[in-house]
Amino acid sequence: MNDQLLENFKTRLTATEASFKVMHRAPSNIALVKYWGKYDPQLPANPSISFTLSRAFTETLVFFEPSMSPKINLKFEGKAKPSFIPKVQSFIDRIKDYCPYLSGYSLEIETSNSFPHSSGIASSASGMAALAMAICSLEANLSGDKVDLKKASFLARLGSGSAARSIEGPLMSWGLHKDILGSSDLFATPFFEAHPIFNAYQDAILLVHKGVKSVSSTVGHNLMNNHPFAEQRFAQANENLARLLRVLRTGDLDDFIEIVELEALSLHAMMFSSTPSYILMQPGTLSIIQRIRTFRKETGIPVCFTLDAGANVHVLYPLENKEIVVDLIDNELSAFCE
Ligand code: PMV
């Protein structure tokens, strides 16, 4: 099955003598059921699902210039950024079997994020997705076909796993799951069956700790190899996704909250119990979590939290509760933020 899918992503297209310029905006995403643990080549140990973050995005302009000796130049937020080039180069090398035409172009890349640099908001998902979309636009231009969003997700995944989910929205699942028709470990697919309440769901990102994390996601994924709870965790993620899919259809917010918070805490529990163990939460992370739970109990407002692999807290709530939740953030939670 996968072999056939992989063949479908291959092409015989080659570079032409015309240059091509394209600009793409790709959103970041926050997982509700977490991907944690992977195997080569960048395939998930369990399926995941995420909200697409429409206001946290990367914009990337790529100028493909025909060349016999291809080079990459990159500007980040208007300034030359040679330190980003090796990551882009290794991505291009990784996808060369699927995009052979790239060997005939030099790339001038200009990229920027809608969120502050080094804020702890991961830019690899939106960054890799924007670049993959630009490459798929070049491919569409060469073939005369439409941009292949499945291939864009497939390529983005090879740059950064969670980038597979940064192609469409508002909900994207990635990884084979028995309850998702057409699901695959190779690329993400949009989930269109959600209750309308989830189409305009809100996410406020509280920056508890800015800057580079002490342990990268790559190291964290690898620590799931030989982790004593790995098998239970992968089974739990599959079950939580099955439950969450039902909840996303019905709009039951109590169950939504229960699953989403459990997933966030289970992700961090894997970090606490790996060898070596590590902690990415900060005291402020816990204070915010406690305060959100107390507020929910006192008011009945369906606000909850999730976490990615860091100290920052994503506060999730329905659009209709925006005013009261923004007050909570401004008056109480912001005290724990950098
Ligand atoms: O895509 P990566 O390798 O940065 O891993 C992302 C892992 C989490 O953000 C913690 C979970 C997820 O599913 O996005």
Ligand 1 atom closest to 160 (CA): 1
DSSP assignment letter at 161: G
Q: Judge whether 166 and 27 are in contact, CB under 8 Å.
A: yes
Residue 257, CA distances (Å) to 97, 265, 289 in order: 42, 12, 13
Percent of the chain with pLDDT over 70: 100
Residue nearest to atom 4 of ligand 1 (CA): 217
What pLDDT is stored for residue 178 in this prediction?
A: 96
Tell me the CA–centroid distance for residue 35 and ligand 1, in Å.
Answer: 6
Q: Which residues contact 142 (CB under 8 A, 6 or more apart)?
A: 13, 15, 16, 101
Q: Which of 36, 40, 51, 162 to mutate to test the pocket of ligand 1 (most atoms within 8 A of CB)?
A: 162
Question: 1 pLDDT band (50/70/90 cuts)?
Answer: low
What pLDDT is stored for residue 171 in this prediction?
A: 97
**pLDDT (tens digit per residue) in 272-293:** 999 999 999 999 999 999 999 9
* Average of per-residue pLDDT across 149-167: 98
Local structure of 108: helix, strand or coil: strand
What pLDDT is stored for residue 288 in this prediction?
A: 98
* Average of per-residue pLDDT across 15-38: 97
What pLDDT is stored for residue 116 in this prediction?
A: 81
Tell me the CA–centroid distance for residue 84 and ligand 1, in Å.
Answer: 20
Say if strands 72-76 and 105-113 run parallel, antiparallel, or are unpaired. Answer: parallel
What pLDDT is stored for residue 214 in this prediction?
A: 84
C-alpha–C-alpha distance, residues 187 and 17, integer Å:
31
Question: 210 pLDDT band (50/70/90 cuts)?
Answer: confident
* Average of per-residue pLDDT across 7-12: 96
Assigned token pair, 30: 């926050």
Tell me the CA–centroid distance for residue 161 and ligand 1, in Å.
Answer: 7
Residue 123, pLDDT > 80, answer yes
Angle (CA) 129 133 139, round 5°: 145
What pLDDT is stored for residue 78 in this prediction?
A: 96
Kindly list the protein residues whose Cβ atom lies closer than 6 A to any atom of ligand 1: 31, 34-36, 48, 122, 124, 160-162, 217, 221, 267, 308-309
Environment class of 112 (CB within 10 Å of its CB; exposed 0-12, middle 13-18, buried 19+): middle
Q: Residue type for 215, please?
A: V
* Average of per-residue pLDDT across 227-241: 98
Question: 122 pLDDT band (50/70/90 cuts)?
Answer: confident
**pLDDT (tens digit per residue) in 60-107:** 999 999 999 999 999 999 999 999 999 999 999 999 999 999 999 999
Q: Judge whether 150 and 110 are in contact, CB under 8 Å.
A: no
Q: Which residues contact 248 (CB under 8 A, 6 or more apart)?
A: 49, 171, 191, 193, 194, 195, 198, 256
* Average of per-residue pLDDT across 14-27: 97
